[in-house]
Chain A
Amino acid sequence: MNIKDRVVEIIAEQAVLEPSDVTMDSTLEDLGIDSLGLVESIFAIEEEFDISVPFNANEPEKSDFDISSVSSIIAGIEQLVKEQS
């Protein structure tokens, strides 16, 4: 499985949806993922890819890690995997 599919699977599990329901332009809010769900998803992503995601819930907009849509999250993780591998 590529990075994109693995991330979609993690997000789908968090949202209790089928991976096919998670579209690239969905926001986490669209998928019903709240702030705790976001923190839990980031933890699952860090464990899955053995990376460290720089994310502070107090200032999500200041983080280099863009969480505005599923596609931006995937792009951010692809970048981190490249940098941290």
Chain B
Amino acid sequence: MKRVVITGAGTINSLGQTVPDTFEAMREGRCGIGELEFRDVDRLAIKIGGQVKGYDPEARFNRQQLALYDRFTQFTLIAAREAISQSGLQFSGELAARAGVILGNSGGGMTTLDDNYRTVYEDGKNRVHPFVVPKLMNNAAASHVSMELNLKGPSFTVATACASSNHAMAQAFQMVHGGLTPVMVTGGSESMLCFGGVKAWEGLRVMSKDGCRPFSATRNGMVQGEGAGVFVFEEYEHARARGAEILAEVAGYAMSSDASDIVMPSKQGAARAIRGTLKDARMDLSDVGYINAHGTGTAANDKTESAAVADVFGAHADNLMISSTKSMHGHLIGGTGAVELLACIMALRDGVIAPTINYDEPDPECALDVVPNEAREAKVEVALSNAFAFGGLNAVLALRRFG
């Protein structure tokens, strides 16, 4: 089996429009969540989110591109460009034929759907733009990345709600690990911050009106975010031979299904995914220094996840750090695991643990070191990234410090 390393990272999210800006915001414990700005927001009960602000699509893409790129595709391409630029890779010949792109996404082009439903239902028009379907399909981002970068190998989109990106990155890892391809581009994106997207979430009554406070006794729900995270997963010898900078090693993963409830999380399902990851990566419990939590800020997730971590790690649960960066960038649904992997890279490479901000009151049911409110310096050898989706589909990744 081949070793797999990360040689490029890119992002755009409410904390920053590049990886360095996002790292800086995470180090400073900045909050990217604010008032939502889009049409009909006054008809929503939930008016906050981690929206990407100060973003001008026309500065990044031309008119023809924008006719085909929903916001989630735009975000993905921006992140992919940054990741590829950092990796220094160019795809041609044999490498292009083998390398592919696997991305996580849940909702597809929700803004495109919203705008065009308005056109036919609200405005009563009988004609929509001819590109609605290629713009809204949730593989559009993966397809445009493949076209822009000339990736001709295995390419597809994974949809497992809030675990989509982790499932996607696990697949990409497996392909490089198994020797199918020396390079995969992977990660995920989401952009559901439009009237219909937030209205649908409101219905479940799990959203917070005032902020995301994971693990805090005062938490009262999740807050949505948007954006993308994209990475270059590369076979170690391939990266070494060309002298690439290595950000971290991808050491293993596991997936599990709760097979129990369409919305309620399961401690057993989460614990099985965490345990499976350690086994796959051949790690001891004590190797793990940091966990980027799923940490949605709902009553149910945070106590279930805390219990799963306590169960798996036993006494070591008190020694490790676990934080939810959703407190800063919100919950990016299908893209969340990708942006959260950045916090794992920062922990391993820079020795800086991103905090759980807005933490104001301990909850005895979440009695772990959640790195409250301020980033912390610590040397970490192994970081895990948890994702536990609606529908009970779980995926956990393990990263190891390189060098």
Interface size of A as a range: 10 to 19
* Least CB separation from B222: chain A residue: A58
Across the interface, do A57 and B204 meet the contact criterion of CB distance under 8 Å? Answer: yes
Of B263, B264, B299, which one neighbours A58 at CB under 8 angstroms? B299
Select the stretch in A4-12, A35-43, A76-84 that faces chain B: A35-43
Tell me, yes or no, whether A64 is within 8 Å of chain B by CB.
no
Across the interface, do A35 and B264 meet the contact criterion of CB distance under 8 Å? Answer: yes
Can you list, as one digit per residue, whether each of A37-60 has a CB less than 8 Å from chain B (1) or not (0)? 001001100000000100111110
Interface size of B as a range: 10 to 19
Tell me, yes or no, whether B54 is within 8 Å of chain A by CB.
no
- Chain A residues with CB under 8 Å of B204's CB are 39, 57
Question: Interface on chain B toward A: helix, strand, loop, or mixed SS?
Answer: loop
Across the interface, do B203 and A58 meet the contact criterion of CB distance under 8 Å? Answer: no
* Least CB separation from B264: chain A residue: A35
Across the interface, do A59 and B220 meet the contact criterion of CB distance under 8 Å? Answer: yes
Q: How far does the Cβ of A55 sit from chain B's closest Cβ, in whole Å?
A: 6
Across the interface, do B262 and A57 meet the contact criterion of CB distance under 8 Å? Answer: no
- Chain B residues with CB under 8 Å of A52's CB are 45
Tell me, yes or no, whether B219 is within 8 Å of chain A by CB.
yes
- Chain A residues with CB under 8 Å of B298's CB are 57-58
- Chain B residues with CB under 8 Å of A35's CB are 263-264
- Chain A residues with CB under 8 Å of B262's CB are 36
Report the separation of the CA atoms of residues A39 and B221 in the bound assembly, to the nearest whole angstrom. Answer: 15
* Least CB separation from A42: chain B residue: B205
Across the interface, do B203 and A56 meet the contact criterion of CB distance under 8 Å? Answer: no
Known: A35-B264, A36-B262, A56-B221. A43 touches B203 (CB 8 A): yes
Tell me, yes or no, whether B208 is within 8 Å of chain A by CB.
yes
* Least CB separation from B209: chain A residue: A56
Q: How far does the Cβ of A44 sit from chain B's closest Cβ, in whole Å?
A: 12
Q: How far does the Cβ of B50 sit from chain A's closest Cβ, in whole Å?
A: 18
Tell me, yes or no, whether B206 is within 8 Å of chain A by CB.
yes
Across the interface, do A56 and B220 meet the contact criterion of CB distance under 8 Å? Answer: yes
CB-based closest 4 A-B pairs: A58-B299, A57-B205, A58-B221, A58-B220
